[in-house]
């Protein structure tokens, strides 16, 4: 039983990071109806920026803030240089373009920071908490990660449901023509969507780095898990991304603990396939006007 | 990729080479050898997830070859190393090897990295009769002179390493009574380690694993499992980035067993990059088998001289640099031993008959003959000190073969001194 | 809507024309293959292999409008079926005929059809991004499965194939190497399996043994003390080195600053005398007149041409118009009696069949099959190729295959050794490749064929979307 609780707790903090990346994918989807494969590359790049700041100033908060800014800027750059030119014509082309951006970002990071993994010092203690005579796999830092994730989801949900910016962004994504006719500056909304997504991914990257290491390819596997979570959740749903992001973390943890870690990818594939069989638009997805 | 040395002997060496060129009559020879040049090729991961550490190996080899070239080369020929980045992908390794053979017209392959990558090319290299020297992997399959007469592994296999670990754990009073557990990377690490520990008779309370790439997330579940099983000694078989993750996660969970780490997953410079200030306390006391003189033992003539070469080429001194220079040193001696009339068959024969006389920083015997291409035959047991340097623990070394049965055996071995000025 | 109207037109005798066209191309390619450097034959083999897989991508992505990030995994299925059948079957099951490589190809194709049916059945219910998610899972999950069954599938290290080369091929070499038994039976070797063999028993290490009782505990004298540490004075054999024999920094001459003149350059190697060599890289001792690259290319070309013939007939026949009709307007297609999901599933089955055949060819080119060669990177490469080449025509698939092989050469050439620091040089090809992919998608959204067609149409005064 304590094992089970250990696996669950361990899975939660892993899952929170998957959830943050899934959130970033959902935000891009909401903004431009496409999947950004460069998302983890952008997050990796901004995490390196944060690492550089932290190494030179020793200030984690400053590093986080700079990473968020860099993430937003990088998101906007990718949007302007790559997404806007291809987006309207072609979703497959957009996938390939973001894939090209991912390769270029990884190579660029390798050029600037080298290929060896580097550590990231956490702002608060990352040692497991002692309770009832034993140490549990949850640290003050994990609690920080989980609270940051929760705060971000609540903040984003409020943004999209309560503020005019959020409502305009949703309108622009759903039906740009109608939104434009109602006076929404659609282009500005799309840019905001990419900026917010980039910032969210940057937060995810900075948060995962202390629990792990950073290298140009270190977030690759996150893309797969985050995308899986976002798809199961319904791509449009913030709460879906978070729920299944954490769920994916739990599944990996439980499979690694009870059977063999190598089964995790297979279990994830089976769950994904079953889920899409039962819910082709994701669990929290809109069913809307399905084509035949 | 080319690091060149400033030296007054360049001109001299070139002159000597030219003089030789006129002396040797034109003859039918193998590809890749001219009167003043030997072209060799390597495929390795310079980018991608497998690149950390290993990307430094060909650079270090190049530094040594530059030094040799600047001092007249080998039998008047200079070594021209061509490197192909295969990103640890077998398909790219195949493409790169084809390019090296057909476009660069290499004389020999050297230091190719990885079991899956090299599996895609080893048959072809042997069929063409291209010497395939010092394959950089602990997979046991390439030591097979019947099937691969041209192929020579660079390091003892993981099977040998597991047998050595098993031998030592049974011998050391402090370790033999401990509850032992195994943590490995899925794939060849795990498969080979299990064979070795079975032969050594090591019993584990529990085993667990991670998949390549999983080290991006903490090993919470695995460490919890090891912890709740009451493991007192954990043997780890995996890559260095995963060692960092394992030690970090264990510290977080307050799990502090005795560690025994595979030699390929234990480079302190990469660990320091990942774990920072925690490296010292976390690594202290961890056991690690090794076959080279400890890299920080600057009193040793091999280490001190190889450090000079690394320093002059502007390279960071770490295990991979050390290993790269050392392997290049052995290759140079093999090429020299093959004689002025350099042929592929001659090179293989030189290795099979002379390998024992080659000097290197290895402190275990190098055994190569027509029936076995194992090369380095074992390990000594080392231990990390407080400054994260490996210290040699056992006076003896432990030798083993990659066979399914048979334990490691204790042996003594005194290596020969380096050659003059570390030139072949 | 035009496509829907055209459904009733029967293709007529196009099949004969297609056979003639493909036959001529085949002959020309074989002629080319026999007259180029073996290096280019090896590229030709890769192009043909990629083209085989990408004909399926044309149908799936271009005609049927379904995105797939997982066709590399479908190739892996074909490759593993090829490896396992050629390893384990001596005769064809049920029929009992003698086994050969063609049968392995047939079963690879059947495996592809089976997997394609399953995935296609799932995929037909899904829209764009969900389909991308499913196929991405496939690209990651299928290679992971091989690690679960190391006994059967060879795990991460994969399986080595002894490719059944034609009679005469490598037989002489193999017997020279003492492994003739493998190639005649088409056996497969598991790189891990060497530990099963007895050959290591031949290594005798007894001369080094210390004769210590292995069961005894570690004695204090077994432990190394400072006095035992090796220093240069401690070497047992060989010359005693004097200080003058040791390499020091002084040996590198005065001055720490290197000047350009001090650097060894290619010129320092001189022109040298090239010794007579065999351009194929096969030395006299092993020469049998057999050039493996040519064989690989001719095998890959044969499969590519057969697949191209099938693809031509499908694409330009009724089925092609069915796929396009469903892609453009599923409702209208349903009205004229076409099942949209049936059409989508059939596109998946066909592309899976082609992918599996390409995988079987790839396994033979590599003489190896393992998860590392069939990962997400391969799946994404196929999509890159089809988008860059032009996704709406089979010619685009061929151009895409050419680009996949040629682009890495181009970026390597552009970013070759320029004396930059190591970490710049190492990453430069990938950076250029990524940027080039983005640039081509931006500059030529319809790929090469789409863009050329748009130019032609523009010249003729017509307008249409580059993607149609």
pLDDT for position C285 = 37
pLDDT for position C209 = 62
pLDDT for position C163 = 73
pLDDT for position B166 = 95
Q: Identify which of A260, A268, A292 has the shortest CB distance to residue C137.
A: A268
Q: Please report residues of A whose CB lies closer than 8 A to that of C132.
A: 35, 95, 227, 231
Q: Do C140 and A292 touch (CB under 8 A)?
A: no
Report d(CA C413, CA A128) in Å as an integer: 51
CATH class, range B158-290+380-421 = alpha beta
Q: Do B245 and A212 touch (CB under 8 A)?
A: yes
C283-292 per-residue burial string, b: 16 or more CB within 10 A, e: under 16: beebeeebbb
Report d(CA C151, CA C142) in Å as an integer: 16
**Domain range enclosing A152:** 2-115+139-278
* B208: Cα within 13 Å, side-chain hemisphere: 25
Instruction: Count other C-beta atoms under 10 Å from residue C11's C-beta.
Output: 14
Q: 3-state class of A224 per DSSP?
A: helix
**B38-89, pLDDT tens digit by residue?**
999 999 999 988 888 889 999 999 999 999 998 889 999 999 999 999 999 9
pLDDT for position C274 = 45
For chain B, say whether C251 makes contact (Cβ under 8 Å).
yes
Give all chains having 3 or more CB-to-CB distances under 8 Å with chain B: A, C
Instruction: Count other C-beta atoms under 10 Å from residue A189's C-beta.
Output: 23
Q: Do A115 and B228 touch (CB under 8 A)?
A: no
Q: What percent of chain A has pLDDT over 90?
A: 39
Of the residues C46, C247, C291, the best mutation for testing chain B's interface (the one with the most B CB atoms within 10 Å of its CB) is C247
Backbone torsions φ then ψ of B21, nearest 5 degrees: -55, -40
pLDDT for position C200 = 63
Give C52 to chain A, closest Cα distance, Å.
20
**Segment among A23-27, A156-160, B10-14 with least mean pLDDT:** B10-14
For chain B, the farthest-separated pair of C-alpha atoms sits apart, in whole angstroms, at 73
- Average pLDDT estimate for B20-36: 63
Angle at the Cα of B29 (from B23 to B31), degrees rounded to 5? 120
Report d(CA C426, CA C416) in Å as an integer: 9
Burial of B191 per CB tally in 10 Å (0-12, 13-18, 19+): buried
CB interface of A with C, residues 39-68, below 8 Å: none
Angle between the N-to-C axes of helices A2-32 and A238-258, in degrees from 0 to 180, rounded to the nearest 10: 150
Contact B77, C359 (CB under 8 A): no
Q: Do B214 and A219 touch (CB under 8 A)?
A: no
**Residue A160 maps to a domain:** yes
CB interface of B with A, residues 168-207, below 8 Å: 186
Q: Do B210 and A7 touch (CB under 8 A)?
A: no
pLDDT for position A213 = 82
Q: Do A215 and B186 touch (CB under 8 A)?
A: no
Give all chains having 3 or more CB-to-CB distances under 8 Å with chain C: A, B
For chain B, say whether C323 makes contact (Cβ under 8 Å).
no
**A126-173, pLDDT tens digit by residue?**
888 888 888 888 889 999 999 999 999 999 999 988 998 888 888 887
Under the banding of pLDDT at 50, 70 and 90, the label for residue C199 is low
Nearest CA in chain C to B186: C147
**Segment among A78-92, A182-196, B263-277, C393-407 with least mean pLDDT:** A78-92
Please check the confidence at residue B325 and state whether its pLDDT lies above 90: yes
**B204-260, pLDDT tens digit by residue?**
999 998 877 665 667 888 999 999 999 999 999 988 888 988 998 899 889 999 999
A-B contacts (CB, under 8 Å): 133
For chain A, say whether B228 makes contact (Cβ under 8 Å).
yes
- Average pLDDT estimate for A120-129: 87
Report d(CA A22, CA C145) in Å as an integer: 25
Burial of B389 per CB tally in 10 Å (0-12, 13-18, 19+): middle
Residue with tokens 């050969």: C100
Q: Do C422 and B399 touch (CB under 8 A)?
A: no
For chain A, say whether B141 makes contact (Cβ under 8 Å).
no
Nearest CA in chain B to A218: B216
If one compares C436 and C269, the residue with the highest pLDDT of the two is C436
Of the residues C159, C181, C275, C412, the best mutation for testing chain B's interface (the one with the most B CB atoms within 10 Å of its CB) is C275
pLDDT for position C467 = 52
CATH code of the domain covering residue A273: 1.10.3470
Q: Do A110 and C426 touch (CB under 8 A)?
A: yes
Report d(CA C346, CA C321) in Å as an integer: 13
Contact A281, A231 (CB under 8 A): no
Please check the confidence at residue B410 and state whether its pLDDT lies above 50: yes
For chain C, say whether A290 makes contact (Cβ under 8 Å).
yes
Domain count, chain A: 1
pLDDT for position C267 = 46
Of the residues C437, C438, C448, C454, the best mutation for testing chain A's interface (the one with the most A CB atoms within 10 Å of its CB) is C438
Please check the confidence at residue C284 and state whether its pLDDT lies above 60: no
Q: Do B35 and C275 touch (CB under 8 A)?
A: yes
For chain A, say whether B410 makes contact (Cβ under 8 Å).
no
C-alpha distances in Å from residue A44, one per residue of B121, C299, C326: 34, 43, 40
Label the pairing between strands B151-153 and B397-399.
unpaired
**B122-169, pLDDT tens digit by residue?**
988 998 889 999 999 888 888 888 889 999 999 999 999 999 999 999
Across chain A, mean pLDDT equals 87
Nearest CA in chain C to B369: C203
pLDDT for position A113 = 93
pLDDT for position C321 = 92
Taken in order C257, C262, C265, C269, is the CA torsion positive or negative? negative
CB interface of B with C, residues 200-229, below 8 Å: 211-212
Q: 3-state class of A289 per DSSP?
A: coil
For chain C, say whether A100 makes contact (Cβ under 8 Å).
yes
Beta strands in C269-385 (DSSP E): 368-369
**C315-330, pLDDT tens digit by residue?**
998 999 999 999 888 8
Give B339 to chain A, closest Cα distance, Å.
39
Under the banding of pLDDT at 50, 70 and 90, the label for residue C164 is low
Backbone torsions φ then ψ of A130, nearest 5 degrees: -95, 130
If one compares A99 and A287, the residue with the highest pLDDT of the two is A99
Q: Do B218 and A13 touch (CB under 8 A)?
A: yes
Label the pairing between strands B390-392 and B397-399.
unpaired
**Residue A169 maps to a domain:** yes
Q: Do C141 and A82 touch (CB under 8 A)?
A: no
Contact C87, C187 (CB under 8 A): yes
Candidates B168, A244, B143; CA nearest to C202 is: B143
Under the banding of pLDDT at 50, 70 and 90, the label for residue C381 is very high
Stretch(es) of chain B classified as CATH 3.40.50.2300: 9-156+296-376, 158-290+380-421
Report d(CA C108, CA C62) in Å as an integer: 24
DSSP string, C150-215: HHHH-GGG-EEE---PPTTTTHHHHHHHT-HHHHHHT-EE-GGGGGGSSGGGG---GGGB----TT
For chain C, say whether A119 makes contact (Cβ under 8 Å).
no
**Residue A20 maps to a domain:** yes
Across chain C, mean pLDDT equals 77
Q: Do C434 and A86 touch (CB under 8 A)?
A: no
Q: What is the pTM of this model?
A: 0.86
Q: Please report residues of B whose CB lies closer than 8 A to that of C140.
A: none
Q: Please report residues of B whose CB lies closer than 8 A to that of A113.
A: none
- Average pLDDT estimate for B32-41: 92
Q: Identify which of C134, C145, C430 has the shortest CB distance to residue A272.
A: C134
Q: Identify which of A208, A215, A249 has the shortest CB distance to residue B52.
A: A215
Give all chains having 3 or more CB-to-CB distances under 8 Å with chain A: B, C
For chain A, say whether B230 makes contact (Cβ under 8 Å).
no
Give B47 to chain A, closest Cα distance, Å.
7
**Residue A131 maps to a domain:** no
A-C contacts (CB, under 8 Å): 160
Q: Please report residues of A whose CB lies closer than 8 A to that of B251.
A: 127
Q: Which CATH superfamily is domain B9-156+296-376 in?
A: Response regulator (3.40.50.2300)
**A74-98, pLDDT tens digit by residue?**
999 999 988 888 756 577 888 889 9
For chain C, say whether B103 makes contact (Cβ under 8 Å).
yes
pLDDT for position C161 = 83
CA dihedral C148, C150, C152, C153 (to 10 degrees): 80
Instruction: Give the residue extent of every domain in chain C.
Output: 2-166+288-375
Q: Identify which of C387, C388, C430 has the shortest CB distance to residue A107.
A: C430
Q: Do A264 and B273 touch (CB under 8 A)?
A: no
Q: Please report residues of A whose CB lies closer than 8 A to that of B223.
A: 137
Q: Identify which of A212, A221, A265 has the shortest CB distance to residue B218.
A: A212
Q: Please report residues of C whose CB lies closer than 8 A to that of A280.
A: 125-127, 130
For chain C, say whether B81 makes contact (Cβ under 8 Å).
no
- Average pLDDT estimate for B287-311: 89
């Amino acid at each position: 039983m304590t094992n089970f609780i250990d696996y669950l707790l361990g899975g939660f903090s892993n899952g929170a990071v998957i959830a943050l990346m899934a959130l970033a994918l959902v935000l891009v989807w909401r903004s431009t109806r496409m999947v950004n494969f460069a998302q983890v590359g952008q997050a990796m790049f901004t995490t390196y920026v944060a690492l550089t700041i932290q190494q030179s100033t020793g200030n984690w908060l400053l590093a986080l803030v700079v990473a968020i800014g860099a993430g937003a800027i990088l998101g906007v750059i990718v949007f302007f240089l790559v997404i806007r030119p291809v987006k309207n014509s072609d979703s497959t082309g957009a996938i390939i373009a973001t894939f090209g951006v991912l390769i270029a970002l990884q190579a660029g990071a390798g050029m600037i920071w080298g290929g060896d993994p580097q550590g990231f010092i956490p702002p608060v203690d990352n040692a497991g908490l002692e309770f009832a005579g034993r140490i549990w796999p949850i640290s003050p830092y994990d609690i920080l990660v989980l609270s940051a994730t929760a705060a971000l989801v609540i903040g984003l949900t409020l943004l999209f449901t309560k503020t005019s910016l959020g409502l305009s962004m949703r309108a622009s994504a759903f039906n740009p023509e109608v939104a434009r006719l109602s006076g929404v500056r659609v282009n500005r909304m799309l840019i905001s969507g990419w900026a917010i997504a980039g910032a969210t991914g940057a937060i995810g990257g900075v948060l995962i780095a202390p629990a792990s290491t950073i290298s140009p390819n270190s977030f690759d596997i996150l893309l797969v898990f985050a995308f899986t979570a976002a798809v199961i959740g319904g791509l449009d749903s913030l709460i879906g991304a978070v729920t299944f992001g954490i769920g994916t973390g739990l599944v990996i943890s439980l499979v690694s603990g009870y059977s063999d870690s190598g089964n995790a990818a297979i279990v994830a594939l089976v769950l994904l396939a079953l889920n899409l069989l039962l819910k082709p638009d994701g669990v929290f997805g809109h069913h809307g006007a399905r084509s035949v | 990729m080319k690091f060149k040395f400033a030296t007054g002997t360049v001109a001299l060496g070139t002159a000597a080479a030219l003089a030789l060129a006129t002396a040797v009559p034109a003859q039918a020879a193998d590809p890749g050898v001219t009167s003043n040049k030997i072209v060799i090729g390597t495929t390795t991961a310079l980018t991608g997830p497998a690149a950390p550490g290993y990307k430094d190996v060909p650079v270090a080899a190049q530094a040594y070859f530059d030094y040799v070239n600047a001092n007249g080369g080998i039998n008047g020929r200079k070594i021209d190393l061509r490197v192909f980045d295969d990103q640890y992908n077998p398909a790219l390794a195949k493409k790169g090897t084809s390019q090296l053979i057909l476009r660069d017209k290499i004389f020999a392959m050297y230091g190719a990295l990885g079991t899956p990558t090299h599996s895609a090319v080893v048959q072809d290299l042997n069929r063409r009769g291209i010497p395939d020297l010092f394959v950089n992997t602990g997979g046991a399959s390439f030591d097979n002179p019947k099937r691969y007469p041209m192929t020579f592994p660079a390091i003892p296999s993981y099977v040998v390493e597991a047998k050595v670990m098993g031998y030592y754990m049974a011998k050391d009073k402090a370790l033999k009574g401990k509850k032992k557990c195994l943590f490995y990377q899925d794939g060849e690490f795990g498969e080979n380690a299990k064979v070795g520990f079975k032969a050594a008779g090591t019993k584990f309370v529990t085993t667990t694993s991670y998949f390549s790439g999983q080290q991006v997330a903490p090993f919470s579940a695995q460490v919890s499992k090891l912890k709740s099983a009451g493991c007192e000694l954990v043997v780890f078989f995996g890559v260095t980035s995963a060692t960092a993750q394992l030690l970090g996660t264990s510290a977080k969970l307050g799990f502090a067993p005795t560690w025994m780490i595979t030699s390929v997953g234990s480079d302190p410079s990469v660990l320091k990059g990942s774990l920072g200030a925690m490296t010292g306390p976390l690594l202290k006391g961890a056991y690690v088998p090794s076959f080279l003189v400890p890299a920080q033992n600057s009193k040793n003539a091999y280490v001190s001289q190889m450090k000079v070469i690394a320093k002059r080429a502007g390279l960071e001194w770490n295990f991979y640099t050390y290993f790269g220079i050392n392997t290049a040193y052995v290759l140079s001696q093999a090429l020299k031993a093959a004689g002025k009339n350099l042929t592929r068959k001659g090179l293989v024969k030189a290795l099979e008959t002379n390998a024992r006389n080659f000097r290197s920083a290895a402190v275990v015997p190098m055994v190569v003959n027509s029936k076995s291409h194992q090369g380095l035959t074992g390990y000594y047991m080392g231990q990390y000190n407080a400054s994260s340097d490996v210290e040699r623990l056992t006076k003896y070394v432990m030798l083993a073969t990659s066979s399914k049965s048979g334990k490691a055996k204790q042996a003594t071995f005194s290596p020969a001194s380096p050659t003059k000025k570390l030139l072949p | 809507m035009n496509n829907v109207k055209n459904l009733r037109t029967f293709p007529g005798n196009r099949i004969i024309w297609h056979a003639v066209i493909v036959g001529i191309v085949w002959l020309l390619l074989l002629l080319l293959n026999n007259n180029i450097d073996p290096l280019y034959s090896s590229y030709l083999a890769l192009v043909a292999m990629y083209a085989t897989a990408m004909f399926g991508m044309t149908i799936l992505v271009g005609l049927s409008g379904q995105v797939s990030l997982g066709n590399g995994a479908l190739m892996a299925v074909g490759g593993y079926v090829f490896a396992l059948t050629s390893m384990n079957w001596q005769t064809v099951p049920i029929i009992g005929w003698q086994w050969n490589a063609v049968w392995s190809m047939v079963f690879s194709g059947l495996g592809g059809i089976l997997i394609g049916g399953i995935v296609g059945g799932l995929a037909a219910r899904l829209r764009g991004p969900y389909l991308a998610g499913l196929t991405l899972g496939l690209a990651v999950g299928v290679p992971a499965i091989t690690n679960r069954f190391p006994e059967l599938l060879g795990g991460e290290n994969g399986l080595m194939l002894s490719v059944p080369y034609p009679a005469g091929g490598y037989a002489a070499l193999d017997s020279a190497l003492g492994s003739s038994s493998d190639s005649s039976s088409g056996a497969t070797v598991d790189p891990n399996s060497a530990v099963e063999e007895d050959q290591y028993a031949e290594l005798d290490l007894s001369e080094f043994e210390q004769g210590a009782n292995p069961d005894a505990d570690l004695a204090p004298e077994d432990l190394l003390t400072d006095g035992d540490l090796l220093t240069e004075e401690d070497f047992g054999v060989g010359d005693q080195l004097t200080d003058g024999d040791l390499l020091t920094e002084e040996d590198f001459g005065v001055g720490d600053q290197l000047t350009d003149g001090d650097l060894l350059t290619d010129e320092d190697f001189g022109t040298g005398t090239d010794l007579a060599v065999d351009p194929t890289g096969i030395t006299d001792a092993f020469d049998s007149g057999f050039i493996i690259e040519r064989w690989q290319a001719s095998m890959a070309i044969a499969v590519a041409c057969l697949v191209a013939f099938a693809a031509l007939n499908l694409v330009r026949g009724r089925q092609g118009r069915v796929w396009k009709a469903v892609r453009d307007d599923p409702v209208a297609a349903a009205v004229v009696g076409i099942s949209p999901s049936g059409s989508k599933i059939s596109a998946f089955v066909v592309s899976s069949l082609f992918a599996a055949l390409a995988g079987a060819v790839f396994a033979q080119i590599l003489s190896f099959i393992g998860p590392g060669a069939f990962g997400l990177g391969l799946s994404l490469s196929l999509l890159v190729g089809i988008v860059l080449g032009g996704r709406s025509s089979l010619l685009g698939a061929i151009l895409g295959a050419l680009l996949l092989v040629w682009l890495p050469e181009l970026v390597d050439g552009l970013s070759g050794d320029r004396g930059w620091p190591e970490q710049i040089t190492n990453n430069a090809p990938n950076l250029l490749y990524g940027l080039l992919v983005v640039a081509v998608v931006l500059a030529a959204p319809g790929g090469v064929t789409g863009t050329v067609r748009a130019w032609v149409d523009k010249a003729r005064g017509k307008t249409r979307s580059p993607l149609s």
